[in-house]
Structure 1
Amino acid sequence: MTTDVADARTAWMEPGAFEVAPGVHRIPLPLPNDGLRAVNVYAVRDGDGLVLIDSGWALAEARQQLERALDQLGHGFEDVHRFLVTHLHRDHYTLGVTLRRTFGTRISLGAGEQPSMAAILAGRVEGQYRDLVRWGAGELVEPLRQARSGDREGVDGYEPPDDWIPGAVDVPLAERILRAVPTPGHTNGHLVFLDPEAELLFAGDHVLPHITPSIGFELARAGSPLSDYLESLRLVRSYPDMRLLPAHGPVTASAHARVDELLAHHERRLDLTCAAVGETASTALEVAGRIGWTRHNRKLADMDLFNKFLAVGETAAHLDVLVRLGRLRSSTVDGVVRYA
């Protein structure tokens, strides 16, 4: 990658408030990891205040950066009328919870996130460990359990929203009407917000310009999250084309163009995953170890614990779609799902 390309890939992370359409500003906020290093929050003018689409991670640095960006727009936290949150991952949800404790700001979240929210608040993570065993990755359970020990943020950073958005509904603001559209896959309750008149798609993690979102990373995992995701992509593709306003990455001109790329990517991954199944690779863990990851084609063995977990879960999602398509068959032996 040349320096110019590298700069283009990271320029969107620079702090500030950047107008992307009349009355709409993109505000990048920092994240505490080397993978996704920033998340976009979108400030939408709403009368004498703002509605924010997503809120960021509850980090002191992110709060300060958001405060400076709002000040740049002539506003403060007290002027934020509502957070419309695309999904409950902490980089989108938890700063909103922190600010609500002080300013009473209303938080809205998709109703499909209710099972995962309940699991988070109850500290129920055993379902993910059972999934790892089913995927033939029981060896990752104890390291993951140890890595999570003493981490209270997963519970303390969360509270229920003020209201659950029940499905595809209009969200009227002072100067525009947003359309909330359920797009399960990345999480079961993921929403995108459409502004058809301004031709804007606030895409959350559903459609990202440079990367593919993880599939089904949640405590209450859907039965076939990849099937849900592909269907959600086709749903977004059925709307007129709009500018893509993603949660991670720069704004781009065409949501349709990126949706087409994502659909083609998963077709290739399905073929690659199917070809990797064989006598020495019959579990999700074994198959994940035979295919490359990220645009650098990294090996599973070289990845950190968390990304191994994501990779094995995504492999399982692809394997299950291949079974649904009749290209593979599956059987469960001693609690482990095997594919052939």
Structure 2
Amino acid sequence: MNLKSLTLCLLFGCLFASCIKDELPNAEADILTCIVPSEILIRDPIIENDKITIRVKSTDLTNVAPEFTLTPGATIVPASGTARDFTTPQEYVVTSEDGNWRKTYTVTFIYEGLSTQYSFEDMKLEQDKYPVFFERNGDKVIMDWASGNIGYAITGMAASPADYPTAQAAEGVVGKCLKLSTRSTGELGAMMQMPMAAGNLFIGTFDVMSALSDPLKATQFGLPFYYEPTRLTGYYKYEAGKDFSEGGVIVPGKKDICDIYAIFYETDENTKTLDGTNSFTHPNLISIARIKNAKETNVWLRFSLPFVYLPGKSIDKAKLAAGKYNLAIVFASSLEGATFNGAYGSTLMIDEVKLLYNENK
């Protein structure tokens, strides 16, 4: 190993350790599982960096007592099994056995379904660093969108929120809009053979701990949806970057292009979510809506994508009513971005998206 590579490895180790302390789940102060009565759950609790989201059927949330398992030796305040009023989010503080690590988790119960209109007006800065888009019903947040921004934070390439691959722009069709850009991950990314990060936004969760070891599995697509989706509509602009590259090598004559799609699939005991390895191939897929004629445009173009059923597939109305189907909507600035192919500077703008569906009544 030459001096430069050694220096990068040491730098990467220091940065990653720092992120574990400041941003990522710490190995000594984590909530590993969250248990609530199974009869009220729509899906298993989603445990992320510093938050837990629990989607439940309509139920009384004024006296719920979740139980937690922690990393060995860690303690939690309030104690596991304490009854609390979850009509508003509640905080828990986990402290490691040696007392050197402490993390605050926000636990949120949600019994409202997914929103179906998305204007990308609502954005917050997670830990005062990277943008996170969210949807709300009035003053209540009902969904956080997922993206790879938390992984991009590790690279140290973003000097401001606007420098992240997934960001907000002012010039929407109406008000603000979503802006996705394919960006360099710098020397650290090149060393890990992940030279670029495509801007992405999707319904689901991003598993940052898988981002380095198995990046395709880091994007976990889908949340429960109780209706039959029929069409995805909205507006987009797109500008491709100058030079398309594969594995860091420029491919002459090849142009980058964006991706816009949605998937609808059945869940079961073995399939809780789909990810970047199987989102178009898994046997549980029911229908797909995907753009086929995306192109560069500096004016807003409307897209209208019908959900097309896969051969032999249909919806079980009883399973649908029970929340056994998941929906994911996905936007990406580079079609091949999941495998780190694309063009630096490719930019996709998205606004005023609607999900159309049948009521199934």
Larger strand proportion of the pair:
2
Q: Bigger relative contact order, structure 1 or 2, given CA contacts below 8 A and separation 6+?
A: 2
Compute the TM-score of the two structures, normalised by the length of structure 2. Answer: 0.30
